[in-house]
Chains A and B, each alone.
Chain A
C-alpha cells in the first residue's frame, strides 16, 4: 500500500547548463566570486534506502540536502522528489518567540505543509515527546535552545514522511533525549522510507545507513556501502590532513 511507494531522486546537475546553485553571496555578477556548491551530482535514492552523506565542512552536504528539500532551486540539471518530505535541517527554526508550544507546533506544521487536522490530533503527543513540562504554556522566548530543538524534532518526526532529510540531529538535547530521538529516527527508518542523513558522526552513519556517499567540493567522489566509503574517507583524510580541511571550511559557512 502506502509503503510500496518508490521514492526517487533523479538529479542530473551536469551536462548542459552550468550550475549556479551556489551561495554566491551578494556579488552575484562578478564571476570570480562564483563557485559551484554542488556540481555534476547524479544521485538516486530509492525507496527503503537510507543514505549517509559524509564529507568535510563546506563540501556541499547541506546544499545537497537543501536542494532535495526544494529550498534551493538547482541552476543546472533537474531534480525530482516524489512523496512527502520532512526536513530536520535546523530544529526549531520557525518558532516564533511570542507563541506558546501549542501555537508553535501548529505554526511549524503549517510551514512543513502538514494538514491542520493531522497536526492537531498529534498535539499532545508532540508536547509529551518533547518533554518540555510546564513550559508548554509559556511563550517560546522563555525556552532553552535544547527545548526548542526537542520541540522541533518532535514536530518534524511526528508525521510519517516518505522522505526524511536529516542534518546532524542525532545530537539533539541531553543524553536521555538523544537516546529517545535515536529510537524515533530508527523507527522512521524502519518504516521503509527513504532517508538522507548528513553527518560527521561516522559511527552513526555506518550503523544507521545502508548506503553512503562522500562529497567533496560539490561533487560525489565515492559511493557504495557505508563501511567502504567511510573507511576510504578516513584513510584519505589522514593523508590530506587538517590544512586542506581548514581551507575548505573557510570557503563556505552553511
Chain B
C-alpha cells in the first residue's frame, strides 16, 4: 500500500520515443474499460433520438449502396456482375475508415470539460473512435446475408477470412485517427481538409469501380501506377472483395506487407501524439 501511495504521480520526466510508445500501449491496456465505456456511449448516441433508431445502422449502408448502384448501373450504364455485392465489399470497409477519420477531428475537442478537469491518457479517445467504427462495421455486415440470398453462388467459405483483412485495416486506421485527432487540436481547418481529402481518397480507391480497370488505365503511366500501389486501402478493399465477392483467397502477401508497413508509421505517429498531448488542454 505504502509503495503505491508514495508513487510519483505528477512530474514524471519526459521519455524517449520507445518508452513513449510502450507507455501508450500500457495506458491503452490499463484504461481498456475507459475505451469501452466511451465506445458504448458513442454507439448508443448514434441510434438515439431518431424514429427508427438503431435500424439506421443497417439502413445507412444499404441506402449508400443503393445510391451508387443507381449512379453506376442506371446512369452510367457500366457495372460489374453482381454489382450490389461488389459495391458492398468496397463501401462497408470504407465507411468504417471514413467514419473513424471524420470523428477523430472532434473526439478530443468534444471532451473539453473532462480534459480540463482530470489528467488521463488522452490516447484512449482516438482508440475508442477506432473501436466504435469497427463495431458499426460489424453491424453493417448484417445486410451481407441478404445479398447472399440474391447471389447464393458467390457465397464461399472465404468469408470467414474477413477478420484477417480487418486486421490490416485496423493497422492503418489507428495511426491515421491518432494523427488527425492530435493535429485537429491545433488547426480547426482539419475538419474541412479531412472531409475533402476523404472524398478524394474515396474516388482514388477502387471502391465503386474495379481495381483491374484502374490498373489498365495506370499501366501506361508508371508514376501514377506507383502512386496507386502506395495506397494501402487499394490492397485492403481488394482483399475484402476477393473474399466476399470473388470467393477466392486474398493477396495475403500484399496484406501482410501493408500491415507490417503500418508499424513504423504507427510508432512515429503515436510518438507525435504523445509529444503534442500536453498542449491539448492549453489550446482547447
Q: Tell me the A residues contacting B by CB distance below 8 Å.
A: 1-2, 4-5, 22-26, 28, 66, 68-73, 78-85, 87, 89-90, 93-94, 96-99, 103, 106-107, 110-113, 116, 139, 162
Interface residues of B in 1-23 (CB under 8 A from A): 1-2, 4-11
B10 touches A80 (CB 8 A): yes
How far is it, in angstroms, between the C-alpha of A73 and the C-alpha of B42 when the chains are bound?
Answer: 29
* Distance (whole angstroms) from the CB of A36 to the closest CB of chain B: 13
Contact yes or no, A5 B118, CB < 8 A: no
The CA of A24 and the CA of B284, in the complex, are separated in Å by 10
CA distance A83 to B11 in the complex (A): 12
A62 → B minimal CB distance (Å):
9
User: A79-B11, A110-B33 in contact; A87/B117 too (CB < 8 A)?
Assistant: yes
- With A22-B282, A110-B33 in contact, do A71 and B117 touch (Cβ < 8 Å)? yes
**Residue contact A82 to B118, C-beta cutoff 8 Å:** no
Question: Which residues of chain A are within 8 angstroms of B111 by Cβ–Cβ distance?
Answer: 94
Contact of B2 among A1, A26, A139 (CB under 8 A): A1
- Interface contact B119-A71, CB-CB below 8 Å: yes
Q: Mark B39-70, 1 if CB is under 8 A from A, else 0.
A: 01110110010000000000000000000000
Q: Would B41 and A71 count as touching, CB distance under 8 A? A: no
B120 at the interface (CB under 8 A from A): yes
| Identity of the chain A residue whose Cβ is nearest the Cβ of B45 in the assembled complex | A98
Contacts of B1 in A (CB 8 A): 1-2
> What residues make up the interface of B, taking CB atoms closer than 8 Å to A?
1-2, 4-11, 31, 33-34, 37-38, 40-42, 44-45, 48, 111, 113-120, 278, 281-283
The one of B10, B33, B120 in contact with A106, judged by C-beta atoms closer than 8 angstroms, is: B33
Which residue from chain B places its CB closest to the CB of A119 in the assembled complex?
A: B33
Q: Contact: B10 with A5, CB < 8 Å?
A: no
Q: How far is the CA of A99 from the CA of B11 in the complex (A)?
A: 33
Residues of B close to A94: CB separation below 8 A: 111, 113-114, 117-118
CB of B8 within 8 A of CB of A80, answer yes
B37–A80 touching, CB < 8 Å: no
Of the candidates B7, B33, B41, the one whose C-beta lies within 8 Å of that of A97 is B41
Residue of A24, A80, A110 ringed by the most chain B CB atoms within 10 A? A110
Q: Main SS of chain A's interface residues?
A: loop
**11 A-B contact pairs sorted by A residue (CB < 8 Å):** A1-B1, A25-B283, A66-B281, A71-B117, A82-B5, A82-B7, A83-B5, A98-B44, A107-B41, A110-B34, A162-B5
* Contact residues in A for B113 (Cβ distance below 8 Å): 90, 93-94
* CB-CB under 8 A for A116 and B33, given A71-B119, A96-B41: yes
Q: Give complex CA distance A25, B118 in Å.
A: 20
Task: Answer whether A107 and B120 are a contact pair too, CB < 8 Å, given A84-B5, A94-B114, A162-B5.
Answer: no
Residues of A within 8 A of B119 (CB): 69-71, 85, 87
Q: Considering the chains assembled together, what is the distance between the CA atoms of A87 and B116 in angstroms?
A: 11
**Is chain B's binding surface mostly helix, strand, loop or mixed?**
helix
Q: Which of A1, A71, A84, A106 contacts B115 (CB 8 A)?
A: A71
Complex contacts, B118 vs chain A, CB 8 Å: 69, 71, 87, 89, 93-94, 111-112
Q: Are A103 and B40 closer than 8 Å at their CB atoms? A: yes
**B8 and A66: CB pair below 8 A?**
no
Most A Cβ at <10 Å: residue of B31, B37, B40, B283: B37
Per the bound structure, the CA–CA distance linking A90 and B120 in Å amounts to 15
Which residue of B has the minimal Cβ distance to A67?
B10
Chain A residues in 8 Å Cβ range of B41:
96-99, 103, 107
List of B residues within 8 angstroms of A69 by Cβ? 10, 117-119
Q: Which residues of A contact B42 (CB under 8 A)?
A: 98
| Contact pick for A107, options B10, B11, B34, CB 8 Å | B34
B2 — which chain A residues lie within 8 A by C-beta? Answer: 1-2, 4-5
Q: A85-B119, A107-B34 are in contact. List 4 more A-B contacts (CB 8 A).
A: A72-B278, A80-B11, A82-B9, A110-B34
Q: Are A111 and B120 in contact (CB under 8 A)?
A: yes
**Inter-chain contacts of B38 with A (CB < 8 A):** 96, 107
CA distance in complex: A106, B40 (Å):
13
Q: Which residues of the partner chain B approach A79 to less than 8 Å between Cβ atoms?
A: 10-11
* Residue of B with least CB distance to A152: B117
Check if A5 sits within 8 Å of B115, measured CB to CB: no
A93 cross-chain contacts in B, Cβ below 8 A: 113-114, 116-118
* Cβ distance B38 to chain A, nearest Cβ, rounded Å: 7
The answer to whether B44 touches A83 (Cβ under 8 A) is no
Q: Which residues from B are CB-within-8-Å of A73?
A: 278
Q: Are B44 and A70 in contact (CB under 8 A)?
A: no
Q: In the assembly, what is the distance between CA of A28 and CA of B4, in Å? A: 38
Contact yes or no, A70 B10, CB < 8 A: yes
